[in-house]
Amino acid sequence: MRLFLIRHGAVSPARHGSFYGGTEVDLSPQGRIEAKNAAVQLQAIPLQALYASPLSRAQFGAEQVRAGRMDMEIRSLEGLKEIARGRWIGKTPNEVDAQYPADRESHRLDPWNWRAHEGESLGDLRTRVLACLTDIVQEHSGDGAVALVSHMFPIRAVLADAMHLDLPAWDDLVIPTGSVSCVEYNAMGEAKVLFLGRT
């Protein structure tokens, strides 16, 4: 099975540079174009299934992939949402530092486990995303292709798992908005990254 991972297009947050994570944020005009261009990469590929985060920016991307496949259902999964940022939502890094002086340093020292901002740790995110991934791979094992439209951190979690990368290496996975990555799973569930971040 080949799993195509599509990151949604660029967004227009209410305040530039603020944290938004797993909340609703509108796509920018450029982001809509990016989403359509990403879908073009999959146009000629027969898909067994199409999954997406329930957030509207990912749903828009899924609708572009679905165009021309009107009999295909978009299967929305909560587990594919972007990381929850807790009390950082709507604040810039400088504002977080001013209001919660220890937060970002605590997160930097233990991003795998730290969640004192009432959001998720990266370990939390990895656990929920890989639970979704396991279900998808088991359901669609064998030949064929599946598309998944999500966000930067969930896509990094899938790619890092396929590449056996530890958390410090996640930042090295460059996943541009509107890009497509692909992981191939064999009959044993073993993964191989075919390409990543293709725009």
How do the domains of the chain map onto residue ranges? 2-198
Cβ atoms of residues 170 and 163 within 8 Å: no
The sign of the torsion formed by the CA atoms of 18, 19, 23, 29 equals positive
Fold of 2-198: Rossmann fold (3.40.50)
Cα–Cα distance, 157 to 153 (Å, whole number): 6
Residue 64: closest CA among 86, 33, 101: 33
Q: For residues 42, 171, 152 and 145, what is the CA-based torsion angle, rounded to 10 degrees? A: 30
Proportion of the chain above pLDDT 90, given as a percent? 89
69-79 residue pLDDT tens: 888 999 999 99
Residue 60 has pLDDT above 80, yes or no: yes
Question: Which residues partner with 74 through β-bridges?
Answer: 50
143-174 residue pLDDT tens: 799 999 999 999 999 999 999 999 889 989 99
Question: Which residues partner with 6 through β-bridges?
Answer: 149, 180
Write out the DSSP string of 37-70.
Answer: HHHHHTTTS--SEEEE-SSHHHHHHHHHHHTT-T
At 166, phi and psi to the nearest 5?
-80, 165
Residue 190 has pLDDT above 80, yes or no: yes
Quote the pLDDT of residue 68: 87
User: Would you say the pTM of this structure is higher than 0.85?
Assistant: yes
Mean pLDDT over each residue of the chain, to the nearest integer: 95
Mean pLDDT in residue range 131-141:
92
Alpha-carbon distances, residue 63 vs 43, 47, 140 (angstroms): 12, 14, 21
Q: Which residue has the tokens 């939390």?
A: 124
18-43 residue pLDDT tens: 999 999 999 999 999 999 999 999 99
Residue 14 has pLDDT above 90, yes or no: no
Cβ atoms of residues 183 and 193 within 8 Å: yes
